[in-house]
A and B are shown apart, each in its own frame.
Chain A
């Protein structure tokens, strides 16, 4: 098990380096990186100072070395708009997003997985097709539009829920629901197809031969195996969640890293965007590693490899 973890860590580190490299080179692509990184009202002295610090008048490899050196020390540049180190801005907002995501995952799983099992059990029936329609709809709707629609219905028209910003539990409802919609659809689809496949297995026949009740056969023997492919897609889901958060936090004015990304784009705050991407990558890689470890725990066959 330990070797497995070590190997995944190394792979993650390599991926991170690739991302950082690409981000770096994209920044230098335009030929005028100084303009990208400074506000419009910057003085020539500011320009000179920056050129000096980042080595922008030197060879590209030197610039890269400086970039990496600074990055390792936690310095990923200064946000133009916010006038604070980008890393600081990121970590200020990170808790807010992290308070949102687990709820979305929980909701997604608690709704999606049982729906998938029920759909598989009653395959072909009206229930199955209804659930399937819900799933397809969940993937077809752009999540930012769904968020706006929900705000319109529940906040503007009905006045039940607040329309945005962080606050008490009521403020969590709509953003979590919006984020979770895509997940519910995804979980449902995969659980359903995984269950359908597992239900045909020989060991399921053996479980029935043992005389176990149908409920135990389905919810214990089948589901546990069906969850394995579900877990493999967790990694993809996490990536979608991070991007979904950008849009959802924007729509609901939630002060998290998603909103930060949006602001970086709108205000053309390159240093901030650069930092956000690298830090988000680290976040995603960490979560993926966690998922892989969980996967190895759930499916004992994986531990051998």
Chain B
């Protein structure tokens, strides 16, 4: 009896649907090919938030710091007691939540930009130097990186806030501390493999000095990786900024930041949940979108980074 095409056990045949089968497989798991679709929704969300940040003065219906105590703790427009004047309601000082949200986006993005430039830049520089120069310099720098990984930088951020006072500068320095180590480590890895390449040897033969090689040859080739790292870390920075603001170590009031808004709204959660919960939705959406976008970008540009 000849055996002709028929599903064998290695095919993907719909199994008996049961919870047990989910965890106790009866057959060799099948293979699946995944196509990376362009993540439109995350891109849309990111665009909206960026627009909000850039055009805040034009978009926000009110000033974020004006207090109208008469209108305090109004619920969002779609709930009972809300009004169209304040689409997302007001907080305990009568400030419009929507306006504060919009200006908060500005603060978050600005801090993110500055911290990524500073922390990412430092990490990039250290990574290139450690990777290219090697030897004792590399050992020392990598020990520092290991140390940085061991200790939660948030603690140091808090310490900075207490000793140097709250403010944008302190915040940026603090968040940069979080970032530089992971940038340094990954970039160093890239540089190590780049160092072996012929064009570097050629440059050395031509008599280029080490700093020149690092700047003109190594740097352009790691920019790809750097950009991916930046996009992957935006989420980290946003949450770090929110956390520090929540803990009272970020930018001081009355500047609206999303983390601060949540902190202020916390006490009133029982009768005015929108004050605390709405900014959190914004943070979650932003970080989610940025992460999904970053993943997609990484898959497109450099799948080797999938370990991250």
Contact = CB atoms under 8 A, between A and B. Distances in A.
State if A and B touch, Cβ cutoff 8 Å.
yes
B164 A149 contact: no
Contact of B277 (A29, A149, A265, A277): A149
Interface stretch (A54-62, A90-98, A99-107, A267-275): A267-275
Lowest 6 A-B CB distances belong to which pairs? A124-B32, A145-B280, A140-B287, A140-B288, A243-B152, A239-B152
B277 A148 contact: yes
A34 interface: no
A255 B123 CA distance: 37
Q: Indicate the size class of the contact surface on chain B.
A: 35 or more
A153 B269 CA distance: 10
B159 A274 contact: yes
B162 interface: yes
Interface string A270-284: 100110110011001
B69 interface: no
B277 A122 contact: no
A227 interface: no
Interface in A105-148: 114, 117-118, 120-125, 127, 136-137, 139-142, 144-146, 148
Given A124-B32, A142-B280, A151-B269, A19 B247 contact: no
A141 B284 contact: yes
A149 to B, nearest CB: 6
A136 B243 contact: no
Interface string A36-61: 10000000000000000000000000
A280 B267 CA distance: 28
Given A142-B283, A236-B149, A265-B249, A273 B266 contact: no
A268 B162 contact: yes
A154 to B, nearest CB: 12
A131 to B, nearest CB: 11
A235 interface: yes
B141 to A, nearest CB: 14
A197 B150 CA distance: 27
A284 B147 CA distance: 12
Contacts of A139: 235, 287, 291
Interface stretch (A71-79, A169-177, A245-253): A245-253
Nearest to A125: B32
Interface of A: 15, 18-19, 22-23, 26-27, 29-30, 36, 114, 117-118, 120-125, 127, 136-137, 139-142, 144-146, 148-149, 151-152, 156, 193, 199, 208, 214-215, 218, 235-236, 239-240, 242-243, 246-247, 250-251, 261-262, 264-266, 268-270, 273-274, 276-277, 280-281, 284-285, 288
The B interface is mostly helix, strand or loop, or mixed, namely: helix
Given A215-B24, A261-B155, A29 B164 contact: yes
A261 to B, nearest CB: 7
A49 B243 CA distance: 37
A145 B39 CA distance: 26
B284 A140 contact: yes
29 contacts: A22-B156, A27-B163, A117-B23, A136-B292, A140-B239, A141-B287, A142-B242, A145-B262, A145-B276, A148-B262, A148-B276, A152-B277, A208-B28, A214-B27, A218-B25, A235-B149, A235-B150, A236-B149, A239-B149, A239-B152, A243-B155, A246-B154, A247-B243, A261-B158, A265-B161, A269-B162, A273-B162, A277-B155, A277-B159
Contact of A26 (B159, B243, B246, B249): B159
Contact of A23 (B159, B161, B249): B159
A218 B28 CA distance: 10
Contacts of A239: 149-152
B169 interface: no
A121 B163 CA distance: 51
A39 to B, nearest CB: 14
A214 B29 CA distance: 9
A148 B22 contact: no
Q: Choose among A120, A193, A273 the residue with the greatest number of B CB atoms under 10 Å from its CB.
A: A273
